[in-house]
């Protein structure tokens, strides 16, 4: 990605002070992040969607599952975004649908972040045989096409919200693992790690109190970008019929629009869920890239 130079400088030089540094540098971070217009825009969109998802059920003008006689009606004052093939209100469904997208996005990327960070930390910190084995495994996962792999995994576990989360999470950790590994490699060479080891710190202590705090910002910005991908993948997997058909989500709405053959007659059925997916993905991407610029020295330098 093209990088916009941050307007200020956060002192992000690795420190030995562990987790304590975060409490002090939060305000400092915001000063830099504020400088990125797109980053602020993304974050604002993100807050909007999170709040919207939380209060969706009271915002929705109709119960989202309530069927009616008004089948496939175009937008009208009664139904602001029209109705679907069984007369459900599309606006209500779009509002509720944000919950599934965000839930899957957060849960799946939590799995990816956990697996990716563990693999990256262990590979980078210990090096040698463990590094070789883990990185070969990462390479293998990188080459196998992601969507077919997710499809097969979700199909075998059986269509449900859980299988979609698991399939996305298990497939999406490779990028995080690579970034975390390279960051760990540079952090572990620093003097304070050596002094910690000299004063008797165990590997676990050093990893958790010295390496992880210095790698955490990179994990964080990377994970926000992973969420964007997870939201997209959720839509695709649900559209292909791998989600829970009884749960309202944007991908599920589009699947019903497609399988019921309403695509060519009812644009109001197709456009709102797709635009919503696009905006949420955009929000996470903008936020993620801006965080990356602040946190990831590799991106910032360019």
Partner 1 sequence: MDTEYVVKKVAQTLATIFFVLTFNFFLFRILPGNPFALLFRGPGFSREAVNLLNAQFGLDQPVWVQYIRYLENTAKGNLGLSYTTRAPVANMLFPRLMNSLVLLLTANVISIVIGIVLGIVSAWRRGGRTDLTLSASTLLLYSMPTFWLGLVLLFAGVVYFGLPVAGMTTLGANLTNWFDYVGDLLRHMVLPGLTLVLGLVGQYVLVMKGALLDVFTEDYMITARAKGISTQKLLWNHAMRNATLPIITLIAINLGLTVGGAIQTETVFSWPGIGLLTYQALLQRDYPMLQGCFLVIAIAVILANFVADLTYGYLDPRVRTG
Task: Give residues in contact with partner 1 (CB under 8 A).
Answer: 1-2, 136, 139-140, 142-149, 151-153, 155-156, 158, 228, 232, 235-236, 239-242, 251, 254, 257-258, 263-264, 267, 270-271, 273-274, 277-279, 281-282, 285-286
* Residue placing its CB nearer to partner 1 in the complex, 153 or 164: 153
Closest separation between CB of residue 61 and partner 1, Å? Answer: 24
CB of residue 163 to partner 1, shortest distance in Å: 11
Which distant-in-sequence residues (6+ apart) come within 8 Å of 295 by Cβ?
A: 12, 217, 218, 220, 221
Q: Tokens 């644009």: give the residue.
A: 267
φ and ψ of 249, to 5 deg: -145, 165
| Residue 62 exposed, middle or buried by CB count within 10 Å (0-12, 13-18, 19+) | middle
Q: How far is the CB of 52 from partner 1 (least distance, A)?
A: 18
DSSP symbol at 78: S
Dihedral, CA atoms, 53, 56, 57, 61, nearest 10 degrees? -160
CB of 81 to partner 1, least distance (A): 16
Cβ neighbours for 162, distance < 8 A, ≥ 6 positions apart: none
Q: Closer to partner 1 by CB, 125 or 289: give it.
A: 289
Alpha-carbon distance of 75 to 92, in angstroms, equals 13
Taking the complex as a whole, the smallest distance from the CB of residue 147 to partner 1 amounts, in Å, to 3
CB of 65 to partner 1, least distance (A): 23
Closest separation in Å from C-beta 42 to partner 1: 10
Of 139 and 189, nearer to partner 1 (C-beta) is: 139
DSSP helix, strand, coil percent of the chain (3-state; round to 5): 70, 0, 30
Give the C-alpha distances (Å, rounded to integers) separating 48 from 43, 45, 53, 78, 295.
9, 5, 9, 25, 24
Query: Nearer to partner 1 by C-beta: 221 or 285?
Result: 285
Closest CB to partner 1 among 25 and 244?
244
Query: Minimal distance in Å, beta carbon 280 to partner 1?
Result: 8
- Residue closer to partner 1, measured from CB, 240 or 247: 240
**Total residue count of the chain as it appears in this document:** 302
Q: 3-class DSSP state for residue 4?
A: coil
Q: Nearer to partner 1 by C-beta: 195 or 259?
A: 259
* 174 versus 183: smaller Cβ distance to partner 1: 174
Name which of 85, 89, 100, 87 is nearest 59 in CA terms: 89
């Amino acid at each position: 990605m093209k990088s916009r130079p941050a307007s200020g400088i956060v002192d992000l030089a690795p420190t030995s002070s562990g987790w304590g540094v975060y409490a002090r540098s939060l305000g400092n971070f915001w000063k830099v992040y504020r400088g990125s217009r797109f980053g602020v825009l993304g974050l604002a969109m993100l807050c909007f969607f999170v709040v919207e998802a939380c209060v969706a059920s009271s915002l929705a003008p109709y119960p989202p599952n309530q069927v009616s006689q008004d089948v496939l009606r175009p937008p009208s004052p009664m139904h602001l975004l029209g109705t679907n093939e069984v007369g459900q209100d599309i606006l209500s469904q779009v509002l509720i649908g944000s919950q599934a997208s965000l839930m899957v996005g957060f849960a799946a990327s939590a799995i990816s972040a956990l697996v990716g960070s563990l693999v990256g930390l262990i590979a980078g910190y210990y090096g040698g045989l463990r590094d070789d084995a883990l990185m070969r495994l990462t390479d293998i996962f990188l080459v196998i096409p992601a969507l077919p792999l997710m499809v097969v995994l979700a199909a075998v576990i059986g269509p449900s919200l859980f299988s979609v989360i698991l399939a996305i999470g298990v497939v999406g950790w490779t990028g995080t693992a690579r970034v975390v590994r390279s960051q760990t490699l540079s952090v572990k060479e620093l003097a304070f790690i050596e002094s910690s080891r000299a004063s008797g710190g165990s590997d676990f202590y050093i990893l958790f109190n010295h390496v992880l705090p210095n790698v955490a910002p990179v994990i964080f910005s990377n994970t926000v970008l992973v969420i964007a991908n997870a939201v997209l993948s959720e839509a695709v997997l649900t559209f292909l019929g791998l989600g829970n058909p009884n749960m309202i989500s944007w991908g599920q709405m589009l699947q019903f629009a497609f399988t019921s053959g309403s695509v060519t007659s009812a644009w109001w059925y197709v456009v709102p869920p797709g635009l919503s997916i696009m905006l949420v993905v955009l929000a996470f991407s903008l936020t993620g890239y801006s965080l990356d610029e602040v946190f990831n020295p590799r991106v910032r330098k360019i």
